[in-house]
Amino acid sequence: MNIENFLGDIVKSSVEALYGKLEGEQLQIQKTRKEFEGDYTLVVFPLLRRSRKSPEATATEIGEYMVANVKEISAYNVIKGFLNLTLDHSFWADRFGEICRDCDYGKAKPTGRNIMIEYSSPNTNKPLHLGHIRNNLLGYSVARILEANGNNVIKVNLVNDRGIHICKSMLAWKLYGNGETPESTGMKGDHLVGKYYVEFDKHYKAQIKELMEQGLSEDEAKKKAPIMQEAQEMLRKWEARDPEVYNLWQTMNGWVYAGFDVTYKALGVDFDKVYYESQTYLLGKSIVEEGLRKGIFFRKEDNSVWIDLTADGLDQKLLLRGDGTSVYITQDLGTAFRRFEDNNLDEMIYVVGNEQNYHFQVLKLILKKLGYDWSDNIYHLSYGMVELPEGKMKSREGTVVDADDLIADMVATAREMSAELGKLDGCSEEESNAISTMVGLGALKYFILKVDPKKTMLFDPRESIDFNGNTGPFIQYTHARICSILRKAREAGIDTTTPCSTLLPIEIELIKNLCDYPNVVAAAGEAFAPSIIANYTYELAKQFNGYYHDYSILRESDSAICAMRIRLAESIAKVIKSAMYLLGIDVPDRM
């Protein structure tokens, strides 16, 4: 049952019984604030012209009528123009029964909508780092949340496998690599290629300094540095399909893809489709040519192609360089066109950091000017950066937090802290490894996803692996604790089917919280915000732990109450597991 719809119907029928048929008046029903008694609150001010009475008198009249005529309403109270309604215990018992019977609780009915979500989008010149981890975890979780809301979701990765940044790594390897390979060095391929991206920057800075000492300005030195000119020539050769350059590109990208796959598997994310910039930039170029023919774009004297967006409050945007090579937005035009044409999309979501806000504003506007109305269905899920206590990360300077290292450190720290707290006592080596991996990754994922995506966040690995407080391990341990209760109940042969109509206020509060879950999933889907799921799950786990501390479950002498409490614990575990799944987090059955 949808409680909000049910309340809307019974309040409407009660108001109409008192004051006649409603015509345009909106009933305002909301959850009662915690400091007041009641479950839901009706705002009566919009009804005063009907009742022709004071707010207090109107609220009292409606409250008295509902208690007398609606069996589900057990009590009411009035605070000025607000009518607080209390639902009967039997109402909540019925809702609890529905939750127990629903194996897919929290999932919405199919909408028929096709939504594509792009996340990860790495460059093939460096390994994944902490910033990529937030991107991947956010995109993967939002995909699961949208699926739970009944949508057909296509998870995609766009690999930025071409461009000047890729050529920098290639050139540095060619100049200074001495034929190194992942096999010869024992390094993951993405780490090896990233090493040469840093190497390029080191030599580039040295050449800039040397040229500036010879009297060139910094801008001139940057343009005339031999290593940068060589990289630009390599890009031109790549676009011309020079065999030597192209073969080197394929080899080094192959190293990187193999490395990425290991990281994605460790992180527990995947994709339904992978797009490559090298396969879409030509389509983007043809779209630019079409825009030129239509007069939407213009060509400058150096042969570069631009669009003038100053009339739209933006600036001029480069679409093709003077030498004919493409830029990021060139391939983005091609990729967007291909996706909407091939997949009959209702919405396209790009999970990209907030430093690209302007880029996506421009992309949507250009597509709109080209006549593609589906551009209105593009959404940029912009997120804040992840920072460390030491400050921002810089790939070129090699000061990033490597994703592989971070994952390994999280698992090791989880094992150390779990062992210290006795969480691994009695576990085999295999079980200890599995639990440590689950807890380490759960800590990482939860710590990142509990923060609103739009906010810049500070990541503290050790703080994230705390078995108390708003953390993944706390929620995972709560699930394991409930599983232990359920195992003991089965071993004791307790009959959990015995009906029970007696509910304590705390039990009703827990049932109310469980009833909120579908609305929480819907709200998270609407806002593309896993943080809504994360913080709901923490509150549910915290509420259960308080209940478990104060009331016995298995030692309860009344068999009907004992059975009800076991069913309640089982339903809480079901919702915790479902919610954590939406965050991409596994929960252990024992710990």
Taking only the tens place, the pLDDT of each residue in 246-293 is 999 999 999 999 999 999 999 999 999 999 988 888 899 999 999 999
Q: Where are the beta strands (DSSP E) in 192-327?
A: 273-276, 298-299, 305-308, 316-320
| pLDDT band per the 50, 70, 90 thresholds, residue 326 | confident
AA identity, residue 94: D
What integer pLDDT is reported at residue 394 of this predicted model? 47
- Going by the DSSP 8-state scheme, the letter that residue 306 receives in this structure is E
**Nearest Cα to Cα of residue 148 among 540, 550, 521:** 521
Spatial separation of the C-alpha atoms in residues 186 and 146, rounded to whole Å: 40
Indicate if the pLDDT at residue 461 is higher than 80. Answer: no
Map out the domains of the chain with their CATH numbers: 3-87 (3.30.1360.70), 119-387 (3.40.50.620), 403-582 (1.10.730.10)
User: Checking DSSP bridges between strand 82-87 and strand 73-79, what pairing results, if any?
Assistant: antiparallel
pLDDT of res. 398: 46
Tally DSSP H helices, then E strands, for the chain.
21, 14
Identify the pLDDT of residue 396.
Answer: 42
C-alpha distance from residue 455 to each of 386, 450, 452 (Å): 9, 11, 6
| Percent of the residues in the chain that have a pLDDT greater than 70, as a whole number | 98
With residue 365 as reference, give the H or E element that holds it.
helix 357-369
Question: How confident is the model at residue 399, as a pLDDT?
Answer: 53
As a whole number of angstroms, the distance between CA 211 and CA 205 comes to 10
Q: How far is CA 117 from CA 44, 340, 379, 425, 446, in A?
A: 43, 12, 9, 42, 20
The number of CA neighbours under 13 Å toward the Cβ of 81 is: 11
The confidence score (pLDDT) of residue 541 equals 98
For residue 451, what pLDDT is reported?
93
Point out the least confidently predicted range of 399-408, 478-487, 531-540: 399-408
Note the pLDDT tens digit of each residue in 543-578.
Answer: 999 999 999 999 999 999 999 999 999 999 999 999
Contact criterion met (CB below 8 Å) for 478 and 504? no
Give percent above pLDDT 90 in the chain: 82
- For residues 24 and 543, the model is more confident at 543
